[in-house]
Amino acid sequence: MINVTKTFLPPIDDYNKQVQRAWDNQWLTNRGELVLELEEKLKDYLSISNIIITNNGTIPLQIALKLLGRKGEIITTPFSYVATTAAIVWENCTPVFVDIHPEYLTIDETKIEAAITDKTTAILATHVFGNPCNVIEIEAIAKRYNLKVIYDAAHCFGVKYNGKSIFDYGDISTCSFHATKLFHTGEGGAMFAKDIDLQHQLFYSHNFGHKGVLAFHGLGINGKMSELQAAMGLTVLPYMEMIINERKKVVAFYNDKLDFSKLRGLKMRNNTDWNYSYYAVIFETEDQLLRVERDLNENEIFPRRYFYPSLNTIEYTKGMPMSISESIASRILCLPLYVGLSAVDMTKIVTLINENLC
C-alpha cells in the first residue's frame, strides 16, 4: 500500500535514549529539560528568536484567535485544512472568506480590502503547501486598517521567504508538528511572535495563565508539549537534511515524468526557499481527477484530495460562493511524497496518472 504520506520514524534506539532522559529526570510534562532543549535547537535550526512549542498544531490557532480575534470577523481563506476555519468558529469569531489566487492557491490579497468591515479584527491566512501568501501586501493592508495578522503556517517548517523564516511574518504564526508533517513530534505544534509582550501572552496562555505556582497573568489553556513528544522531536531533528533531500528527489521525479500538458502544479511565489512538504497536481476537470483517483486506489495507491471541500461550503461556516477555491478544491490531488518512496512506486504512480489523462 502506498499512502499519500508516511511518518518518518528515526531509529528506535535514538528515541529511547531521549526518553531515558525523561525517565531519569522523572519529569514528563510542564516544560521539562527536553522541551526546553528542543525549543533552543529549533530556534537555531529555523534562525528565529522566539518559539513556544505546543501539544498540537490547532491550539496555537485557538490561542492566537483568543488573543487577537476578540470575537470579531476574521478574514480568511476557504482553501485550507478545516482546522483553520474550525478554530475561528470555536473561538466565537466569524469567518469571512476571500477567494484564492488561481495559481499560488493562497488568499488573494487584492480581494481582502473589499471584505473589511467595522467588525473585522484580524486576517487569518494559510501558506498553502508551504507556498507563502503575499505577506508584504497583507501587512500593508493590516496596517492601513489597524488589523492583526495570523498565519496558519502548518506546512511551513523550514520555509524561508525573502531570505528569512516564514515564521517571522505576521503578528502570530503557527506551525504543526503532526506525525504526517515534514518535522514532527508525533503530535505537536508551535507558535511564534516577534513582539515581546505578545510572546509573553502566548506563553502564559498555553500554560493555564500561570504566573508562578499560585498566581495568574490571565486566562489560559493547556497547550504544553510533553517530554515524550519533545523526545521525538529531538530525535527527528538531526535527520532533517536527509528528509528534505529525499523528498526533493521525489518532487524532481514527478516534475520530470508527469504529463503537464493536461495537468498543472502549484506555482511557487518568487523568493521562496521551499521545503518540499506536499506535491499537488490540478486536473482539468473533477471527472478526470476521480478517474485517476479510482485507478490509483485500485492499485493500492492512496493520494488525498487536499484541500477538499472548499471551506466556505461547510455547513457551519455559511460562506458566500468562492468560485476559484471551489473549482480548485474539486480538481486538486496531493500525490504520495515521503522518505523511502521507491523509484518503482513513483514510476507506477506516474504511469497510472498519465494513462488516465484524456
- Going through 206-329 in order, the beta strands assigned E by DSSP cover 210-211, 215-216, 263-265, 272-273, 280-283, 301-302
Residue 306 has a pLDDT of 95
Q: Which residue has the cell 520555509?
A: 159
How far does CA 357 lie from the centroid of its chain?
Answer: 30
Residue 220 has a pLDDT of 97
The answer to whether the beta carbons of residues 195 and 171 sit under 8 Å apart is yes
Residue 236 has a pLDDT of 98
Q: What's the CATH code, domain 240-355?
A: 3.90.1150.10
What are φ and ψ of residue 304, in 5° steps?
-135, 140
In 3-state terms, what secondary structure has residue 299?
coil
The answer to whether the beta carbons of residues 107 and 126 sit under 8 Å apart is yes
DSSP code for 321? P
Residue 318 has a pLDDT of 83
How far does CA 287 lie from the centroid of its chain?
Answer: 28
CATH class of segment(s) 3-238: alpha beta
Residue 76 has a pLDDT of 98
Please state, in angstroms and rounded to a whole number, the distance separating the CA atoms of residues 308 and 312: 11
Q: Which residue has the cell 490561542?
A: 63
Nearest one of 143, 102, 92, 148 to 125, comparing CA atoms: 148
* Per-residue confidence in pLDDT tens, the chain, 358 aa: 999 999 999 999 999 999 999 999 999 999 999 999 999 999 999 999 999 999 999 999 999 999 999 999 999 999 999 999 999 999 999 999 999 999 999 999 999 999 999 999 999 999 999 999 999 999 999 999 999 999 999 999 999 999 999 999 999 999 999 999 999 999 999 999 999 999 999 999 999 999 999 999 999 999 999 999 999 999 999 999 999 999 999 999 999 999 999 999 999 999 999 999 999 999 999 999 999 999 999 999 999 999 999 999 999 998 899 999 999 999 999 999 999 999 999 999 999 999 999 7
Give me 199's grid cell: 510572546
The 3-state secondary structure of 95-125 reads EEECCECCCCCCECHHHCHHHCCCCEEEEEE
Please state, in angstroms and rounded to a whole number, the distance separating the CA atoms of residues 227 and 229: 5
Q: Where in the chain is the domain with CATH 3.40.640.10?
A: 3-238
Give the length of the chain: 358
Buried b (16+ CB within 10 A) or exposed e, 64-103: bbbbbbeebbbbbbbbbbebbbbbbeebebbbbbbbbbee
Cβ within 8 Å of residue 259, ≥6 positions away: 353, 354, 357
Q: Where in the chain is the domain with CATH 3.90.1150.10?
A: 240-355
Residue 348 has a pLDDT of 98
Residue 319 has a pLDDT of 86
